[in-house]
Amino acid sequence: MKAFKILSILIFNVSFSQIAVNASVDASNISKNETINFKINVVNAKGTPRVEISPILEDFKLISGPAQQTNIQWINGAMTSSRSLSWTILAKKIGKINIPSLSVIIDGKKYSTNPIGINVKKSPTKNNLTNLFIEVKPNKNTAYVGEQVTVTYKLYAKNNLSIENIEYPKNEGFWSEDLQTTQNAKFRNTQINGVNYRVATLYKVALFPTKIGESTLNPMTVICNVEIPSKRGRGVFDDPFFNSMFTETQRQFLQSESLTIDVIPFPKEAPVDFTGAVGEFSFSAAVDTPKVRINEAFTFYIRVAGSGNLNQFNLPKIDFPTSMEVFPPSSSFKRDKFRDDIFGEEIYEYVIVPRVEGNYQIGPFSMSYFDPNKKEFLTIKTKALNQNVSPNNGFVGNPSRLTNREEVSILSNDIRHIRERRFNWIRQNDYRIPFWAWSTYLLSANIFLFPFIFRFTRSKNVAFQNNKELKNASKNAKKSILKSKDNHFKNYSHALFNYLKIKFSLNTDLLDKSYIGKELKGIVSDELLKEIINIIDILDFGNFGNSKQNNENIDIKTKIINLIEKIENSTK
pLDDT tens per residue across span 147-167: 999 999 999 988 888 888 888
Specify the CATH class of 126-264 in words. Answer: mainly beta
What pLDDT does 143 receive?
93
Specify the CATH class of 20-121 in words. Answer: mainly beta
What pLDDT does 372 receive?
92
What are the backbone angles phi and psi of residue 486, rounded to the nearest 5°? Answer: -85, 150
Rg (CA), the chain: 37
Q: What is the arithmetic mean of pLDDT over 326-344?
A: 83
What pLDDT does 78 receive?
67
Q: What is the arithmetic mean of pLDDT over 59-69?
A: 80
Measured distance CA(365)–CA(274) in Å, rounded: 13
pLDDT band at residue 9 under the 50/70/90 scheme: very low
pLDDT digits (tens, 9 = 90+) for 261-274: 999 999 989 998 89
Q: What is the arithmetic mean of pLDDT over 2-17?
A: 44
What pLDDT does 504 receive?
77
Q: Decide if pLDDT at 244 tops 80.
A: no
In terms of Cβ atoms closer than 10 Å to its own Cβ (0-12, 13-18, 19+), residue 146 is: buried
Most confident of 353-362, 389-398, 409-418: 353-362
More reliable by pLDDT, 102 or 11: 102
pLDDT band at residue 311 under the 50/70/90 scheme: confident
Q: What is the arithmetic mean of pLDDT over 524-548?
A: 74
Measured distance CA(225)–CA(256) in Å, rounded: 17
> Taking a C-beta distance cutoff of 8 angstroms, is the pair 166, 153 a contact?
no
Helices 435-483 and 556-570, axial angle in degrees (round to 10): 130
What pLDDT does 164 receive?
85
Q: Decide if pLDDT at 549 tops 90.
A: no
Q: What is the pTM of this model?
A: 0.54
In terms of Cβ atoms closer than 10 Å to its own Cβ (0-12, 13-18, 19+), residue 315 is: middle
Q: Decide if pLDDT at 421 tops 60.
A: no
Kindly write down the DSSP assignment for every residue of 134-172, as one continuous string: EEEEES-SEEETT--EEEEEEEEESS-EEEEEEE----T
Measured distance CA(159)–CA(446) in Å, rounded: 65
Q: Positive or negative, the Cα torsion across 422, 424, 427, 429?
A: negative
What pLDDT does 427 receive?
58
Q: Which has the minimum average pLDDT: 172-181, 241-250, 321-330, 562-571?
A: 241-250
Helix (H) or strand (E) holding 3: helix 2-17
Buried b (16+ CB within 10 A) or exposed e, 338-374: eeebbbbbbbbebbbbbbebeebebbebebbbbbbee
Q: What is the arithmetic mean of pLDDT over 35-45?
A: 82
Buried b (16+ CB within 10 A) or exposed e, 380-395: bebeebebebeebeee
Measured distance CA(473)–CA(494) in Å, rounded: 13
What pLDDT does 147 receive?
92
Nearest to 148 by CA among 158, 138, 156, 157: 138
More reliable by pLDDT, 426 or 1: 426
What pLDDT does 511 receive?
57
> Taking a C-beta distance cutoff of 8 angstroms, is the pair 134, 220 a contact?
yes
Tell me what percent of the residues of the chain surpass a pLDDT of 70: 76
pLDDT digits (tens, 9 = 90+) for 493-523: 788 888 887 877 776 555 567 777 777 777 7
Helices 513-520 and 488-504, axial angle in degrees (round to 10): 30
Q: What is the arithmetic mean of pLDDT over 486-493?
A: 72
pLDDT band at residue 474 under the 50/70/90 scheme: confident
Q: What is the arithmetic mean of pLDDT over 189-215?
A: 89
Q: How far is CA 570 from CA 42, 355, 525, in A?
A: 37, 86, 8
Measured distance CA(553)–CA(13) in Å, rounded: 34
Specify the CATH class of 274-397+402-408 in words. Answer: mainly beta
pLDDT band at residue 298 under the 50/70/90 scheme: very high
Q: What is the mean pLDDT of the chain?
A: 77
What pLDDT does 229 receive?
73
Q: What is the arithmetic mean of pLDDT over 47-53?
A: 80
What pLDDT does 409 receive?
46
